[in-house]
């Protein structure tokens, strides 16, 4: 005949190991989430640097366009000066002078915009340099943290493996019928499937059980269940019992 008290002791030990496995698994999941968050944060920093570089590229492109426009204006002015030396009438002379003046005025505006862009370029280059420096430091910090996380995960995985081996050993030491009952109860309840009863109160659902059932728990002649939550319940013998 199965020693119910001994079986309950085994079930309680098995449950303790399984809860440790769950806890270790949760820690591994949390560590993986932390590593993912670090990777995401690094990607965000990289995206910020890329965005600042794109702004810098845009400013450089705008500056090059103004440089080209200024060169064209200078070439026009030189061409107009050559034309000025060759004109034969006062009307042509005045027209060419006006053309030179308008081109010089236009080029002056271009040069003003170039000076403004140079200030912006200098400021944006400083921003990019600062962001790149911050990114390098941040990535290094993330890499160091990820190494520690990976080591912690590896240790937790070894712990889980050891606990699973212990779990298997305990399960084989229990009565197969009792194990089947435990597995069935676990599919129906959340949390612990085996709980003690204290002062006629189930520690799983915290509901009072009938007095007769409370007294029957001391017999340890069969597994008994809470009438409210269906967990396996037991009552430890006391000196006064």
pLDDT digits (tens, 9 = 90+) for 15-26: 999 999 999 999
Work out the mean pLDDT of the chain and round it to a whole number: 94
pLDDT of 238 over the 90 cut: no
The pTM of the full predicted model, rounded to 2 decimals, is 0.74
Contact 70, 114 (CB under 8 A): yes
Tell me what pLDDT residue 239 has: 40
Place of tokens 């298997």: 168
Question: Given the DSSP bridges, would you call strands 232-234 and 224-225 parallel, antiparallel or unpaired?
Answer: antiparallel
Buried b (16+ CB within 10 A) or exposed e, 140-177: eebeeebeebeeebeebeebbeebeebbeebbeebeee
- 72-113 pLDDT, tens per residue? 999 999 999 998 888 889 999 899 999 999 999 999 999 999
In contact, 13 and 239? CB cutoff 8 Å: no
């Amino acid at each position: 005949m199965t020693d119910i008290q001994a079986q309950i002791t085994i079930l309680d030990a098995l449950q303790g190991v399984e809860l440790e496995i769950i806890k270790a698994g949760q820690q591994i999941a949390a560590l993986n989430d932390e590593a993912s968050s670090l990777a995401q944060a690094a990607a965000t920093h990289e995206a910020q640097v890329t965005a600042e570089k794109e702004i810098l590229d845009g400013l450089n492109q705008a500056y090059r366009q103004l440089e080209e426009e200024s060169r064209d204006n200078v070439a026009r002015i030189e061409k107009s000066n050559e034309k000025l030396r060759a004109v034969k009438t006062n009307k042509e002379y005045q027209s060419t002078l006006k053309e030179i003046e308008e081109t010089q005025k236009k080029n002056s505006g271009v040069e003003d915009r170039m000076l403004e862009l140079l200030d912006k370029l200098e400021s944006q280059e400083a921003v990019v340099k600062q962001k790149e420096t911050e990114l390098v430091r941040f990535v290094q910090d993330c890499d160091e943290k990820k190494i520690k996380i990976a080591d912690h995960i590896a240790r937790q995985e070894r712990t889980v493996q050891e606990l699973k081996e212990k779990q298997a050993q305990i399960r084989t030491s229990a009565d197969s019928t009792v194990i089947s009952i435990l597995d069935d109860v676990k599919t129906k309840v959340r949390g612990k499937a085996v709980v003690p009863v204290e002062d006629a109160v189930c520690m799983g659902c915290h509901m009072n059980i009938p007095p007769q059932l409370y007294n029957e728990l001391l017999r340890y002649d069969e597994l008994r269940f809470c009438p409210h939550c269906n967990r396996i319940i037991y009552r430890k013998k006391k000196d006064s019992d």
